[in-house]
A and B are shown apart, each in its own frame.
Chain A
Amino acid sequence: GQNIDQPTEMTATEGAIVQINCTYQTSGFNGLFWYQQHAGEAPTFLSYNVLDGLEEKGRFSSFLSRSKGYSYLLLKELQMKDSASYLCAVRDQSQKVTFGTGTKLQVIP
């Protein structure tokens, strides 16, 4: 089975940087995803990591360490519209994708 942990809530200031951590345990790691989800809307894809290291995409970066079962999503130059839930998801060798319960980020002025 898979177990994913991420903080329930975080608050950060507009213009700042925030790091959302995700730890996981899985039998047969086959990729880690980060999604953004605004309330009542569908998740939207942010990043995918399958190898160790940092993937940068504009204001968003994602890091993976497979040996530590650890990932983080880094959001820079926070904007009010970044207030949303951020979901960490892990895929295993059987292609099953398990989502964490999400981190609700509130960006304040």
Chain B
Amino acid sequence: DSGVTQTPKHLITATGQRVTLRCSPRSGDLSVYWYQQSLDQGLQFLIQYYNGEERAKGNILERFSAQQFPDLHSELNLSSLELGDSALYFCASSPPRPDTQYFGPGTRLTVL
């Protein structure tokens, strides 16, 4: 158990819909990262937040957005969902000295 929690574990929805994925980092970790992992593909970095502020941005679509709240939990919002958005979405957190990232168990999103 990494200490990072993600909800829900599974999510099944239809094309065109909007969903919100939630992540709670480890106690004391200020950074939160979001990744997408599609079938047979590597981890794609989406976005990083540090203490409520956006720190780095990767290949995140305009239909996707994220935020980190004052209590440091983070949410990833996916809208106008397409079949190709079906993937595992991981959240990770890292301590102030970022020499590692601790991954949550992931949310498996299926878009039908």
Asked if A and B are interacting partners, one says yes
Contacting pair A94 B56 (CB below 8 A)? yes
Which of A42, A91, A99, A102 sits near B104, CB closer than 8 Å? A42
| A42–B101 alpha-carbon span in the complex (Å) | 11
Given A31-B99, A33-B100, A96 and B42 contact (CB-CB distance below 8 Å)? no
Residue of B nearest to A101 (CB): B42
User: Beta-carbon contacts of B36-67 to A below 8 Å, as 1s and 0s?
Assistant: 00000111110010100001111000000000
A61 within 8 Å of B (CB atoms): no
CB distance from A100 to the nearest CB of B (A): 6
Contacting pair B41 A101 (CB below 8 A)? yes
Q: Choose, from A17-25, A43-51, A72-80, the stretch at the interface.
A: A43-51
Given A94-B56, A96-B56, A97-B45, A48 and B100 contact (CB-CB distance below 8 Å)? yes
Which of B41, B57, B103, B104 lies at the interface centre, i.e. has the most chain A CB atoms within 10 A of its CB? B103
Q: Which residues of A contact B33 (CB under 8 A)?
A: 97
Q: Do most interface residues of chain B lie in helix, strand or loop, or is the interface mixed?
A: strand
Contacting pair B2 A42 (CB below 8 A)? yes
Contacting pair A42 B42 (CB below 8 A)? no
Q: Which residues of B contact A107 (CB under 8 A)?
A: none
| A87–B43 alpha-carbon span in the complex (Å) | 9
User: Beta-carbon contacts of B80-112 to A below 8 Å, as 1s and 0s?
Assistant: 000000001010000000111111111000000
Given A87-B42, A95-B48, A97-B45, A45 and B100 contact (CB-CB distance below 8 Å)? yes
State the A residues within 8 Å of B (CB): 31, 33, 35, 40-45, 48, 50, 87, 89, 91, 94-102
13 contacts between A and B (CB under 8 A): A35-B103, A42-B106, A43-B90, A45-B100, A45-B102, A48-B99, A48-B100, A95-B55, A96-B57, A96-B58, A99-B35, A99-B42, A99-B45
